[in-house]
Amino acid sequence: MSKETTVSRGRSHIRAAVFGCIATTALVLDQVSKYWALNTLSHGRTIPVLKGLLSLTLVRNPGATLGLGSSMTWLITVLAMVACVAILVLAYKTISMRWTSALALAFAGALGNLIDRIVYADGVLNGKVVDFLDYGWSVGNVADVFLMIAGVAIVILIISAEPFSKAELERQTTQDAHEPAEDERAFHLSEDSNGVLYNEDSIKLVKSAGEEHDGSSNSSQAGAR
C-alpha cells in the first residue's frame, strides 16, 4: 500500500467521523426538542419567544415545509428516504470537509423528519412531522433549521467553487498550474520589443514596427532634402 493511499484513507476516516459526529449531534437535538414539544405543548399551549416573530406552538404536519403536499404524505416519505440515501452517497464520495459538514446537517434534517413520519404513522407511510417553531407565516422544527443551514452552505460552496470530488480538485489544480505559464508568456511578449522573439505574433509585431520606423525615416530624409 502506497503512502498516498494510506493518507487518503486516513482523511476519509476523519471525514466519516466528522460526518457522524455532526449528524448525530444535530439529530439528537432535533429529536429531544420534539420530545419536549410533545410533552409541553400538547394541550394547545403556546409559548411566546419573540413577540410577533417566534412562538412555540405544536402542529402535526403531514406535508413538507410550509405545509406543502399535505395530501401526498406517502410520496413525501418516499422522497425523504431517497434523499437520505443520496446524501449518504454524496458524503461518501466527497473529499471536502466543508462539503462533508454541510451534507451531515442535511442528512440530520432529512432523517429527523423521516423518523417522525415513521414513528407517528397511523398506517403505511402516512406519519406526520412534529412542528413547533411558529414564525407566524410558517411552522417548522429544528430539523428544518438544519436543512435551511445546509442549503445555504451548499449554495455558498457551489459559488465559491469548493472542489467536491478528487476529479474536481485535480481539474482546479491543473488550471492553476497553467496560469503562471500564461503570465510568463505575457511577460516574454512584453520583452519582444527588445528583440527577443518567441512566436509569430511577436515577429509580426516587430516587423510592423520596423516598417513603420523605416517609413518615418524615409519621410524625414525626404523632408530634409
- 92 neighbors 119 (Cβ within 8 angstroms): no
Q: Residue 5's pLDDT is what? A: 58
The band of 21, judged by pLDDT with boundaries at 50, 70 and 90, is: very high
Predicted local distance difference test score (pLDDT) of residue 65: 66
- Predicted confidence band at 221 (pLDDT cuts at 50, 70, 90)? low
At a CB cut-off of 8 Å and minimum separation 6, what does 66 contact?
Answer: 138
**Once rounded to an integer, what is the mean pLDDT over residues 79-87?**
96
Grid coordinates standing for 69? 403536499
Confidence at residue 15, expressed as pLDDT on a 0 to 100 scale:
95
- pLDDT at position 168, please? 80
pLDDT band at 68 (very low <50, low <70, confident <90, very high): low
Confidence at residue 6, expressed as pLDDT on a 0 to 100 scale: 59
At 121, the pLDDT band (50, 70, 90 cuts) reads: confident
Task: Please report the pLDDT score of residue 148 as a whole number.
Answer: 96
Query: Taking residues 109-122, what's their average pLDDT?
Result: 90
pLDDT band at residue 3 under the 50/70/90 scheme: low
Q: How many residues does the structure list for the chain? A: 225
The residue to which cell 402535526 is assigned: 60
pLDDT at 206: 46
Lowest mean pLDDT among 109-113, 140-144, 178-182, 195-199: 195-199
Q: Return the active site residues.
A: 131, 144
Condensed to tens digits (0 to 9), the pLDDT of residues 152-184 reads: 999 999 999 999 888 887 787 777 666 554 445
At 220 the pLDDT is: 52
Q: Give the pLDDT score at 205.
A: 47
Residue 140 has pLDDT above 70, yes or no: yes
Q: Does residue 84 surpass a pLDDT of 90?
A: yes
- Residue 114 C-beta-side C-alpha neighbours within 13 Å: 18
The arithmetic mean of pLDDT across residues 29-57, rounded, is 92
Predicted confidence (pLDDT) at residue 102 exceeds the cutoff of 80:
yes
Bridge partners (DSSP) listed for residue 50: 54
CA distance 117 to 129: 6
pLDDT at residue 209 tops 70: no
